[in-house]
Chains A and B, each alone.
Chain A
Amino acid sequence: MFEPTEQGKDISIHSGVVLRGANTREDDVHSTGTLSIVEYTFGKCLEWKPTEVSVVSESQDQDPEWSLVNTHTRTRTVSEGTDSLGRSRTVRILLCDLKSFRINRSGQQLTLMLKDGTNYVVYFQLFNADSFVSSLKGFLKFIKSRKDRNMYIVMEAEDSVLEKSFAELDLFQENASDYVWKFVKNLHDRPYETTMEACSKLTDILLHKEPTRPVEEAVADLLNRSLTLDIPQPTILNVAGEEYEVIGEPGVSVVLPPRPPCPRGAPLTQEQWERCKDTDGRITNSEALKEMIFRGGISPTLRYEVWKYLLNYYPWEATNAERIELKNKKTEEYFAMKLQWKTMTPEQETRFSDFRDRKSLIEKDVNRTDRTHPYYHGDNNDHLVQLYDILMTYVMYNFDLGYVQGMSDLLSPILCLMDSEVEAFWCFVGFMNKVSTNFEMDQEGMKLQLSQLHSLVVLTDPQLAQYLDRHESGNMFFCFRWLLVLFKREFNANDILMLWEILWTDLPCKNFLLLVCVAVLDTEKNVLMENRYGFTEILKHINDLSLRIELPWTLSKAEGIYHQLMAVAGLLPDHIRVIIGLEPQLKTAIIDSEEENATAEPQLDVNDSRPSHSTGSGNVIFGNNEVSFERGINLSYM
C-alpha cells in the first residue's frame, strides 16, 4: 500500500463495506467503510476507507446500488489518516495488481487476490458482491474460472489476446490444461518419457508459463535440503528417469471413492459428561466420550474440566479422592520447580548463558502472545506474569527442550481456560508431550510431518501434488506454521479450542491434523492453481488464510478424506498406512510395468473399513487411465 500525493478521481463508490486483509486484526472486522474505484495518474485503484458513523447513515439514505459518479471529485469527509494506534487504515489496491477474485457462497463476500499472493476479503453489508463485480467490468477484463464458477480471473492485456486467438481457433472446448490432460490420457501405447517430454513442453506453451524464477528455485532447493529427513524413510520405488519420473510411489494408483458427507455434531454437554461418571467420580466410558468430543467438541463451560483428562493431567479412571491427592502432589511438584529458577541469583545467571537466553526470549514472547485477547490485554496484566512463570518453570521441567518459539502460543489458550497457574502448567505439559517433537533442535518432527503431508497430497490429489512440485512447493514448507503450533495462528480464540480438543481425542486416526491440512489445501487448490501461483505466492496466500478458514466445514472434509482412505485401506501403501496409524502390510512394493493394466478395483463402500484385497503389489496403475508425471521431483524429502 502507498500514499499518493495527488487527489484521486472517484469513478464509482459504494458504502457499507467491511474489508479485511492479512494485517487486519479481529477487532477491525466490524469497521465499515466505503469501497471505491479511484483513478490516479499512475493507474486505477480500488480504495477502501473506513467511514465515520455519520457518513454511513448519510450514505444509507442514498441509493444502495453502486452509483457512477464519473468526473465527480470527492468532497465527502471520510476518516482519512490514522486510528488510535497510529494505523493508516485506508487500503488501496492497484487494479493492475489484481489477479483474480472470488465470490463466496452466500454472495455477500468477495475475496480479492493479488498477483503477489496477498488476499483481501470484502464483506458487503448492504447488497451483494455481484453488483460490485458488474461495476468492475468497465475497468477490468476478467473471465469466469472453469474449475470454480465463483472465481473470476483478471486477464492481462497479453492474456486477452491469447484467449481470443484460442477462441478463434476453436480448438479447445475446455481450457488448455484440461486439453493436455485429455491428450495424456489417450496415449497408452507410447513410451512415457517421450510422451511426457512432449506434453510438458506443450503444457508450458499452452499455459504460457511465466519465465523461470531462479531466485525462487535456489531458495526452494536449499529449503528442500533443510527439510530432508536425516533418518531415511521407507524406500520409495520409482522408475528412474533423467528429468521426468513416473510417480512410482506405490499407492499413487489408488483410486479413492467419492468423499462421504460427515456432518458435525453438537458439543458434549454437562449432562452427558455427568452420565459417564460413576459414584466415585471415575470416568467410565472415556472412549464414547472421545467420540462425542470428536464429533462436536465440548461445551465451553465444561472444557475446564474435560481438558484435564484430554491432556493427561487426570487419568480417566481416577476417583474424586485420587484426583484431590494428585492435585496436591502436582501442586507441590510445580512450586518446587518454580523455586529452582526463582532462586537463581543474578550472579549465577551470568555464568549460565543457556538459561539467560531462554529467560530473555520468554520475556519478549510473553509480551507478544495473544495480547488482543481480553485475558491478556493491557499493561501490568497478572496473566502475563503467569504465562511467563509457567514457561520458565517448563524450562526447569524439560531443560533439554527449553523454550522454543511457538510454545507460548500453545500455552496461552490453556492458561486462559484454566485460570490457574498450576493446572495450566500440567495441562501444558500434557500438550507438549503430544507435540514436543515439533520443537526439537533437529526439527525432525516437523520435517517428518511435512513429508507425510506431501505423501498424503500425492495420494489424495495427485494433480495438486504435481502442481506444488512443479512450483517449488513440494516440500510443503508453506504449511510450517500450521503444523508447528497446530493452527493456533490460523483460527480465532474460540475455534482453536474446539480444533485442539478434537485433535486430542486422537480420533478418527493418528495424525488427523495432517488430514485437516489436506482438507484446507483441497479448499484452496483451485485458487492456487487458477492463479498460477508460484513459490512465494503460495507461501503468501497460505499465510494470508489466517483467521479465514472455516472450521466445521474443514473438519467435515478432513473426516471425509479419512473415510475415503479407509475405504481403500488394503490398497494403501505402507507409508500411508503408517501415517494414519494402520499396521504396515510389509508387502514388497514392486513396480511391474507388465501389470500396468491390471487395475485394482477399490471398494467403494465407505462404511467398510476392512482391508480389501489388493493386487498384491504397488503397481503403477493410473486411475481412470490417467498418467501422472512430474519433472525431476526430489523424492528425497518425500
Chain B
Amino acid sequence: MRKGKNKYGRQKAFKMSASNNVAGGAPRVSNFPNRNSQRSTLLKVVILGDGGVGKSCLMNRFVSNHFDEHSFHTIGVEFLNKDIEINGEAYTLQIWDTAGQERFKTLRTPFYRGSDICLLTYAVDDRTSFQNLALWRTEFLYYADVQEGSTFPFIVIGNKVDVPESEKQISTEEAKAWCLENGNSPLVETSAKDATNVEAAFGAAVAAWARLEARLERPIVEDTVDLSKQQSPHRTSCCMPASTAESNKVI
C-alpha cells in the first residue's frame, strides 16, 4: 500500500484509462451521473479553513448550485453528497464541512479519518486565513493519519475572488508560491458567490486524486522524469489558474 493513501479501501477499485494520464489537460467534468453502467467511486472530501472563508458556501454552490450570502455559520459537522463524472468515470463525492473555531477541534478532527481529498481554503481578502493554511494542513495530516503528506491530494482554494481588486490581500502569485513550497498542491481561485471555478476546483481535486491513484496502481515505468518526490510530473498539472504548471517553473 502506498504511503499517504488512506487504509480503508474504497467501494470500487479505481481503474484509469491511459488517456486520463495526460498531464496538464483540464479534466472533463460532466455533471450528471451515469448510474446504469457501473457503481461510482466514493471519495471522501474534507473542506478546511478559517471561519468565514466560505467553506459551506463552496459546498452548497457545488452541490446544489445555490448561494446564500447570509447563510449561517456551521455548527458541528455537516456533509453533502454529489455525483459527478470526470473523464468518463463516475464518482460520488461525500463532502464534509466543519466548524472552524479552535474550541471545536476535538469534535472536528475525527472526521478527517479516511479522507481521500482535502481542500485547504482561504479567502483572498483575508490574510490571516491564508497564513493559517499551514496550520490547517498540519492538523489535517496529523489527524487524518496520512503517513506521507507529499503524496496526499491537497487542493488549495482561494475563495471570494469576486471582491474588488482593492480588497484583495493575497495575490495569485503569492498563493502559488505557497503551494509550491507546500507539496506543490494545485491552486484554484474561486468565487462561491458568482460560481467562478467552483466546479473546476472539485474537478481538479478529483483529477489530482485520480493521478495519484493511477501512479500507485502502475509501476513507475511511465514516470521517467520522476527523480524527486516533490517534483513528480503528476503534480504539476492543474486546471485553474490554467498556467500553474508553467508558473511553477518560473518561480
Contact = CB atoms under 8 A, between A and B. Distances in A.
Interface string B41-67: 000100000011000000010011111
Nearest to A5: B32
Interface residues of B, number: 51
A218 B31 contact: no
Contact of A87 (B30, B52, B67, B128): B67
Contacts of A540: 79
A510 B35 CA distance: 51
Contact of B109 (A94, A226, A480): A226
Given A405-B101, A443-B103, A2 B32 contact: yes
A595 B175 CA distance: 70
Contacts of B79: 536, 539-540
Given A2-B83, A88-B65, A215-B113, A485 B75 contact: yes
A539 B81 CA distance: 13
Contacts of A222: 109-110, 113, 143
A443 B76 CA distance: 13
B103 to A, nearest CB: 5
Interface in B109-136: 109-111, 113-114, 128
B103 A543 contact: no
Interface residues of A, number: 58
A116 interface: yes
A1 B65 contact: yes
A51 to B, nearest CB: 18
B20 interface: no
B70 A368 contact: yes
Given A42-B34, A215-B114, A489-B72, A1 B64 contact: yes
A330 interface: no
Interface stretch (A30-38, A134-142, A143-151, A359-367): A359-367
A215 B44 CA distance: 10
B107 A443 contact: yes
Contact of A214 (B67, B101, B114): B114
B228 interface: no
A552 interface: no
B68 interface: yes
Most chain A C-beta atoms within 10 Å of own C-beta, residue among B36, B52, B71, B75:
B75
Contacts of B164: none
B3 interface: no
B114 A3 contact: no
A226 B113 contact: no
A480 B76 contact: yes
Contacts of B73: 364-365, 368-369, 405
A439 B76 CA distance: 13
A385 interface: no
A245 B107 CA distance: 27
B75 A226 contact: no
Nearest to A441: B103
B110 A364 contact: no
Contacts of A214: 8-9, 114
A116 B75 contact: no
Nearest to B34: A42
Most chain B C-beta atoms within 10 Å of own C-beta, residue among A215, A480, A489:
A215
A219 B110 contact: yes
B33 interface: yes
B66 A85 contact: yes
Contact of B66 (A40, A42, A86, A372): A86
B26 interface: no
A484 B33 contact: no
Contacts, number: 146
Nearest to A213: B8
Interface string A1-19: 1111100000000000000
Given A23-B64, A214-B9, A539-B79, A361 B101 contact: yes
Interface in A78-130: 82, 85-89, 94, 96, 116, 118
A289 interface: no
B217 interface: no
Contacts of A371: 69-70
B70 A406 contact: no
B36 A226 contact: no
Nearest to A543: B78
B188 interface: no
B106 A443 contact: yes
A87 B9 contact: no
B35 A477 contact: no
B21 interface: no
Given A3-B31, A226-B109, A404-B101, A364 B65 contact: no
B239 interface: no
Contacts of A259: none
Most chain B C-beta atoms within 10 Å of own C-beta, residue among A118, A365, A441, A485:
A365
Nearest to B107: A226
B44 A489 contact: no
B35 A42 contact: yes
A214 B72 CA distance: 32
Interface in A468-518: 477, 480-481, 484-485, 489
Nearest to A405: B101
A43 interface: yes
A222 B30 CA distance: 36
B94 A536 contact: yes
B104 interface: yes
B113 to A, nearest CB: 5
A480 B36 contact: no
Nearest to B70: A371
B195 interface: yes
Contacts of B143: 222
Contacts of A405: 51, 73, 75, 99, 101, 103-104
Interface of B: 6, 8-9, 30-36, 44, 51-52, 60, 63-73, 75-79, 81-84, 94, 99, 101, 103-104, 106-107, 109-111, 113-114, 128, 143, 193-195
8 contacts: A85-B69, A116-B94, A118-B81, A361-B52, A404-B101, A441-B103, A480-B75, A543-B76
Given A86-B195, A365-B52, A368-B52, 4 more contacts: A2-B82, A4-B31, A41-B36, A89-B66
